[in-house]
Structure 1
């Protein structure tokens, strides 16, 4: 797959596609999504700062996805912003005829592909970091693989987990839940309760130092060498 880095304001993403002609539709869609979100913030500053769900009726599909995800996960809507923007870009590539597309927006990934995709795990001091990869099977529908970390990257986290990765067809929801769980995880993950059925996602995988644990339906995990030079940071 071809690869291109994309930066617009605070969005810093890696785009992969089976043809370079799909890069521009992805970029345009991500910019449009950001502009809709920024427009919402301009009239409702609480949308930006709230750490809890915000009630909002909107005609913007991107704002609605964030609001809905936040309500289900119990976060502020901005907890879903990176996944939502990645989702918009991958949707545009799919609508324009791409057979495979991946957007990694600071660790929050939207994808679909006619071939197997490997997603490397980068999780700070975790014993699995840079040594493991999730194997995402081929699929025609867009899928979300979103990761939050309390030890990697500039994002604020109130937890201590090296990584929390959530898998879901709802990319915004995967992003919001990854943020929520990572904020909440302050003790060894073997003791952390998880009810996947109530969350509305497929699965969760977390690392905490030398520990790791999974809940729900997870992709295969294989040993891999992760090239950190290809990792984006939000």
Structure 2
């Protein structure tokens, strides 16, 4: 089912912009230069996932890591490795996987931001601010991550127990994870958000995130409470 992304269009940008939709995948892409063939590339990555699910049904349903098989597509193996590091099922990394693998197919774009259901692959020639959407929290759209150009490419992925249809066992309004690997960022965001049901859980969840290999920084929001750890700079945004 198509779900309108009501948070799109909030962040101003002078980059070119396009939307690509293929079944459940709904990508918002901002880019410089020219970009061609991304619709076919997205379809190809989705075919990879469908074939893996037919071969290995647990790939779709498991909530815990599963072992690699012989002759897997590199993206599938990458998803499984990220899942092991975060202690979740491989599909917890799927949005980050699609965003990063599409991004890597277009090195010609100096600036490329691929957003896939709140999960970002970011390559930028300039410093940018990434707005944090946290549902009904009073902090939603009022804070942003400041991202330095020299730190990109990055994966910046968000999980929530109150926004969207993705499975979460927690009640966090937003958990944002930053990593140079978008698949790790995605899987770690899911795992960390699962741990937060009240503001008292924030510190322990951030400590958990800090121990996941490849995680550079984390932000957690529940209600009016926020916590952050690592290489992240949170800045206010004027309403």
Check whether TM > 0.5.
Answer: yes
Any idea what the Cα deviations from partners look like across 1:53-102, whole Å, max 9, x if unmatched?
010134411101110011111101000000000001111121xx111100
* 1:140 to partner: Cα distance: 7.3
Listed as ranges, the gaps of 5+ residues in structure 2 are: 1-14
How many residues align? The count is 221
* 1:110 to partner: Cα distance: 0.4
Conservation of the 8 A alpha-carbon contact between 2:196 and 2:202: no
* Inter-partner Cα distance in structure 1 for 2:32 and 2:92: 30
What is aligned with 1:113?
124
C-alpha distance 205-197 of structure 1, shift in aligned 2 (>3 A): closer
* 1:40 to partner: Cα distance: 0.5
Does 2:59 align with 1:47? yes
* 1:197 to partner: Cα distance: 5.0
Query: Any idea what SS the aligned residue of 1:128 has?
Result: coil
Q: TM-score, normalised by structure 2?
A: 0.87
Listed as ranges, the gaps of 5+ residues in structure 1 are: 227-234
Q: CA RMSD in A?
A: 1.7
Conservation of the 8 A alpha-carbon contact between 1:17 and 1:100: yes
Q: Within 5 Å, which residues of 2 pair with 1:180-195?
A: 180-188=191-199, 189-193=201-205, 194-195=207-208
Query: Any idea what SS the aligned residue of 2:219 has?
Result: strand
Higher RCO structure, 1 or 2 (CA under 8 Å, sep 6+): 1
Does 2:83 align with 1:70? yes
Q: Within 5 Å, which residues of 2 pair with 1:52-131?
A: 52-57=64-69, 58-94=71-107, 97-131=108-142
Q: Within 5 Å, which residues of 2 pair with 1:83-232?
A: 83-94=96-107, 97-139=108-150, 141-188=152-199, 189-193=201-205, 194-196=207-209, 198-200=211-213, 201-218=215-232, 220-224=233-237
Q: TM-score, normalised by structure 1?
A: 0.89
* Inter-partner Cα distance in structure 1 for 2:208 and 2:230: 8
Any idea what the Cα deviations from partners look like across 1:97-123, whole Å, max 9, x if unmatched?
111100000001001111112211110
